[in-house]
Structure 1
């Protein structure tokens, strides 16, 4: 079950009913997938010797407002508030955390990256020069995790050996600095009570590093967070009195990829039934979404889609059934007639 969708067209994240990230796409929505397959980015709270994952808190409220997701929860005398957004135009998830209440608190963030659609061949490491944790694969897939507060503790380890999740549950992380293969990581922030946490995506270490340094400045991250939330509010301002219409516009626009592709669905729940997803560009289905956005007046977004589709027409003058968001042919079922080959 996915309850929240955040996107800026190049970085998209889907959350479940526990406020856990279940899907991450970057930089092409629907094609470059870096998570899921049953995994979760979990959030834990340690308070004066007690520990719980968010899934263990029954009294919590999650809502999506424009491009901002919010969590409100109460546990063990603490008032827990988190709000997330994806920055415009940087490929960054920013989470503002505020926890009020007595005693000592540690917030633990567990990261379950499976880079480039599969979980083998990944590396995770702690970078002491930046006080950040990185996950990377190959030369062009990088994610950096850091905070405006110092990292209290960290660890990395083999996911397939289940070493990181149990390590979190006593509130003390083992500080294993690097792991390779099928890997997960975790960081903790101690006695907040208020801070920003962020996940930065990029195609090389230097680009991610520069963004982390920039976001460490509280003034910068607060300005970027507010500006990004206000951007989507202004985009859908015409529908401000109609919450459903306003939210629908933001979700539709968030599905328009940076290259113009509009995937049918980014939810990967179907993988367990079909060993594939609906993260493809179906020209017919995407055209319905583009028509709705055109009728609402969002031509600057749909122009990217029409430019991409124009390039997909072959010399025979027809479109295939579906494409990868990059514009290459998508997976197809057995051919049973014209409708299986293309949209004529």
Structure 2
């Protein structure tokens, strides 16, 4: 697996071998700084990198925290590496514990290496070892990074990669040259510590990495080195503060959920905890919520659709201030006509400016769910103008059936899912308006909703006995997103026979070797695979269908039992394909390994929504 660590300002990606690959700073998603860190032990006249094949490596998060632990073991040593970002400072901490497993004392050199490329477009930079501060600084014209330790550094090297001065070359030779500075496009550096370690003895050391905006202000470098000194002297307190912060978030979720009422779901609580902790790492301190920290594919932006689902999941887990900050972010990014563009940098600047109308509906739907959970009328009043603009926009596009890009960002037209989201947004806005006694000024929304109830009949394919993917142009394809007509947006009742038939045909359309439900049978994105969100989408539709059929009592028990069995199989498939608590976008259809972005926030949000099981609160 791999993992992410962060604090809302700074987010770092740690790969499955424990290397800190890259970090986002000063916002989540932007800018990207490639750290490319490694460490190695030099003993018995040989170098052992942590990524060497001779180590047995395992990785997991410490329980109820975003502290990632990687364990390395060979015949000689057992090493624990705990990586986290301080919740109180923009500080990455790699805490190493090295245990001698042999019967003899070992002379050891520990090396830490960095090949940091600063910013989205790396430029000429300088790396220096500052002896009086016992640390490295690396800077270009925009940013500065400070790297130090809570132990006295024995030796160092500042060089240019792919040259005679490269710190990487020195590590391979087991001795650093102690060149104290280097300037170039691709600089690198290394620090080392020498120590003796007796049998069964443990040696501990923390490597500290602090970034800061520089912009040519040398005082910022001095302040950063002072912060490093403070962190060295207070590491235990900073660590405990960070650990307790994450645990308090989990406690809030448990208090919100109580002891899960449905016995069958209790065993899934650990999955929900990890999903919540993952979502929290995707929340920028200014309110934006990025889709994923993935660079390949590049999903490190805010889509209001994805973020809307994530805000709902956060609310379900009692993290109401996080979703409120997101809606404040939405107010600042909303267009004057009431819409939002395709996606944004997390600071709020538009990235792709195409329009996907479903994102407008999702935002207002998520806002209603927030109100239903919190009962905060003041929140509604603060956000009414945003809701009003969005509702007027949705009413206009509904009446004219204005086309746009689909939720998969592939086709242009009037899509079933988009119509569902428009209806869900309008109805959510209308219910909000009623709460605020604004009914008279939004009667035209109700007319638009009635119009959509008529239009949806044009999507139905009588010969096939199911709904089409789109009209204008007509696309008769099967697509799992058609379920959005019913769940969660409620344009078509869950127990409408046409919807039931559509769902059954969606299920039968996919026959992957490993199981699961994809987007549509002809999908070629990353080869076409089952997705977490689509599999859970069908699961939640069936689950709600069982609930409705059971209450109406019109169907035989065998029919309900059959749908319950389908639900169990779908949820079992999803939970089987989590990777140490992390859910990807897709799972390889033959190999069962994660494909595309991991973690994907929308996947984690759907897991929480599915297991929480109070679906009535989700349907307008």
TM-score by length of 2: 0.51
Residue 71 of structure 1 is matched in structure 2 by 70
Contact 2:148/2:208, CA 8 A, preserved across alignment: yes
The structural deviation recorded for 1:331 is 4.1
Residue 41 of structure 1 is aligned with which of 31, 37, 47? 37
Contact 2:158/2:189, CA 8 A, preserved across alignment: yes
Name whichever structure is richer in helix by fraction: 2
CA separation of 1:168 and 1:293: change in aligned 2, threshold 3 A: same
Contact 1:28/1:326, CA 8 A, preserved across alignment: yes
CA separation of 1:251 and 1:207: change in aligned 2, threshold 3 A: farther
Aligned equivalents of 2:353, 2:15: Cα separation in 1: 29
Residue 200 of structure 1 is matched in structure 2 by 210
Residue 330 of structure 1 is matched in structure 2 by 351
The size of the alignment, in residue pairs, is 331
Q: Does 1:136 align with 2:132?
A: no
Aligned equivalents of 2:287, 2:162: Cα separation in 1: 37
Aligned equivalents of 1:76, 1:6: Cα separation in 2: 30
Contact 1:23/1:267, CA 8 A, preserved across alignment: no
Aligned equivalents of 2:106, 2:238: Cα separation in 1: 31
The structural deviation recorded for 1:159 is 2.8
Name whichever structure is richer in strand by fraction: 1
Higher relative CO (Cα under 8 Å, sequence separation at least 6) belongs to 1
Residue 228 of structure 1 is aligned with which of 222, 233, 242? 242
Correspondence list, 1:214-253, <5 A:
214-217=230-233, 220-237=234-251, 238-239=253-254, 242-253=269-280
Gap runs ≥5 in structure 2: 197-202, 214-219, 256-266, 357-402, 413-417, 423-620
Aligned equivalents of 2:247, 2:176: Cα separation in 1: 39
Aligned equivalents of 1:75, 1:26: Cα separation in 2: 35
Aligned equivalents of 1:269, 1:313: Cα separation in 2: 28
The structural deviation recorded for 1:60 is 2.0
Query: SS at 2:119's partner residue?
Result: helix
Correspondence list, 1:285-300, <5 A:
285-300=306-321
Residue 443 of structure 2 is matched in structure 1 by none
The structural deviation recorded for 1:75 is 2.9
Deviates more, 1:62-71 or 1:159-168: 159-168
Between structure 1 and structure 2, the one with the greater Rg is: 2
Aligned equivalents of 1:208, 1:291: Cα separation in 2: 38
Q: Does 1:171 align with 2:174?
A: yes
Query: SS at 1:317's partner residue?
Result: coil
Aligned equivalents of 1:107, 1:224: Cα separation in 2: 24
Residue 571 of structure 2 is matched in structure 1 by none
Aligned equivalents of 1:231, 1:212: Cα separation in 2: 21
Aligned equivalents of 1:266, 1:159: Cα separation in 2: 27
Q: CA RMSD in A?
A: 2.5
Residue 225 of structure 2 is matched in structure 1 by 209
Contact 2:160/2:187, CA 8 A, preserved across alignment: yes
The structural deviation recorded for 1:332 is 5.9
Query: SS at 2:238's partner residue?
Result: helix
Contact 2:123/2:140, CA 8 A, preserved across alignment: no
Aligned equivalents of 1:127, 1:261: Cα separation in 2: 37
Residue 529 of structure 2 is matched in structure 1 by none
Q: Does 1:185 align with 2:189?
A: yes
CA separation of 1:32 and 1:321: change in aligned 2, threshold 3 A: same
CA separation of 1:297 and 1:310: change in aligned 2, threshold 3 A: same
Gap runs ≥5 in structure 1: 271-276
Residue 58 of structure 1 is matched in structure 2 by 55
Aligned equivalents of 1:244, 1:302: Cα separation in 2: 21
